[in-house]
Amino acid sequence: MNLSTFASRSLALVAVVLLPATVHAGALYFPEMSSVSESSYAGAGMVARANDAGTVFSNPAGMTRFDAAEIMAGATGVYIPTGFETGPNNTADGSSRGINKRVVPAGSFAYLRPLSDSLTVGISAQNYFGLALDWDDSWIGRYSSVNVAVLAPQVQPTVAYKVTDWLSVGAGAALTLGYLRDKMRVKSLPPGGDDGKLRISDTDFAVQGNFGVMLEPWEHTRIGIRYLTETDLDFEDSPDVSGVNLPPVPGAGLDLGIKMPQQVHAAVHHQWSDKLALLGSIGWEDFSEFGKVQVEGDATGINTTVDADFRDVWHFGVGAEYQYKPKWELTAGFSLDTSMSTDRTRPIVVPLGTMYRYAIGVKHKRREDLTLGGGLTFIWEGNLPIKDTGDVSGRYTNVSIWIASLYARWH
């Protein structure tokens, strides 16, 4: 194999692998990462609740419901236990262990301040988009990936305006720092030796628009609508290849253009009684477009669009808030997010299927100006067969995700 052929195959492999590896959990959008209080609701009613500072991101228009400044901050942990078992057509060697089990820490912050009866400003910090996954160096899919991270931390300044007593609008500009890292093993050249290593990483800056509307047509009912814009992330790097019997390829750069997909969510919050409120939500995310990635390789002639054949994702959710005691509130939620891939198209590095979210939470008013809260979300995906690549076949088993958070509100 000559240098040009090796470079072309390596870059093509990276392109095909990095595209699907970046996707997980309700596609890549985690409602629990948009605000620390969301792990109490499973995403149900997110854009209509507007009962804490998290509305700065979840629906900017909801900021006009506050008559005083508020801060909310907290920590979140994500844990993904899952196994993997090979199928009858598997011919590759290696460990069949699933994803390495570890807790991934995260958090979010939000602040809002009314400037007048009609105008409110705010700022938030969150990592709503992305995930990090890690496998053993010897696992059976090591030539696809052993470690991948796609993160998009954001800082979003926001403004909201109360048009009438029943209508508010809001907008934010999420300043986004996209980060991509992937590591995989490379088969030795000539065959029979130790695996080589291939690494790629890059960052990119982008701005994602966040637009919201809040309607309160009746005294005890509010309806929220939010639209997130499609945003391009362009990652460029020269893959670092080591441990194989070939010198580096000059100018072998790789350019991956991916999209943070557009999203539309609508929700309702209805105060059923003095103690009970009911929530519902529906959403759509354009992940069929996200699956089309523009790939260019310097010095290799690669210039194409890789299509992973993903589908749009739909969200449906219901939830409730119950005022158990004057200073204690209990919350719960359930939601379903449809799968963006099928058994025929699911890559080995993507343990992703239809997601069933179950959440519980509690809020305690410690003082007039301080509320403490926490939530726990359990996401169930079940057994997920992967696309048969010709040498690797099998399925992920008992795929689930646990997300827990603790937070404080000063108001």
Name which residue leads in pLDDT, 79 or 223: 223
* Residue 18 pLDDT > 70: no
- Nearest one of 108, 30, 46, 45 to 74, comparing CA atoms: 108
CATH of the domain at 87: 2.40.160.60
How does residue 10 score in pLDDT terms, banded at 50, 70 and 90? Answer: very low
Question: DSSP string of 48-107?
Answer: HH--STTHHHH-GGGGGG-SS-EEEEEEEEEE---EEEE-TT----SB---SPP-EEEEE
Among 156-160, 353-357, 361-365, the minimum mean pLDDT is found in 353-357
Given CA atoms 305, 310, 359, 52 in this order, what sign does their dihedral have? positive
* 20 has a pLDDT exceeding 50: no
Residue 332 has, within 13 A of its CA and on its CB side, a CA count of 6
Half-sphere CA count of 406, side-chain side, radius 13 A = 1
Provide the pLDDT confidence category of residue 245 given band limits of 50, 70 and 90.
low
| 16 or 167, greater pLDDT | 167
**Most confident listed range (204-213, 283-292, 379-388):** 204-213
pLDDT by residue (tens digit) across 144-195? Answer: 778 877 788 999 999 999 999 999 999 999 999 988 888 888 776 666 667 7
- Does the pLDDT at position 215 exceed 80? yes
Instruction: Give residue 254's pLDDT.
Output: 73
pLDDT exceeds 90 at position 122: yes
Distance of CA 265 to the CA centre of its chain: 15
How deeply is 105 buried, as exposed, middle or buried, from its count of CB atoms within 10 A (0-12, 13-18, 19+)? exposed
For the chain, give the percent of residues with pLDDT over 90. 50
Task: Read off the pLDDT band of 24 (50, 70, 90).
Answer: very low
Phi, psi of 213 (to 5 degrees): -130, 135
Give the chain's mean pLDDT. Answer: 85
Most distant CA pair in the chain, distance: 74
The strand order across the sheet containing 302-307 reads 231-237, 254-260, 292-297, 302-307
Q: Which residue has the higher pLDDT, 297 or 376?
A: 376
- Does pLDDT of 227 surpass 60? yes
Extract the tokens encoding 341: 């891939």
Strand partners, 47: none
How many domains would you assign to the chain? 1
Closest by CA position to 295, among listed 286, 285, 304: 304
Q: Mean of the pLDDT values across residues 264-277?
A: 97
Give me the domain span that covers residue 339.
Answer: 3-410
Exposure letters 270-304 (e unless 16+ CB within 10 A, then b) = beeeeeebbbbbebbbbbbebbbbbbbbbbbebee
Question: pLDDT-derived band of residue 38, with 50, 70 and 90 as boundaries?
Answer: very high
Bridge partners, residue 25, by sequence: none
pLDDT classification of 299: cutoffs 50, 70, 90: low
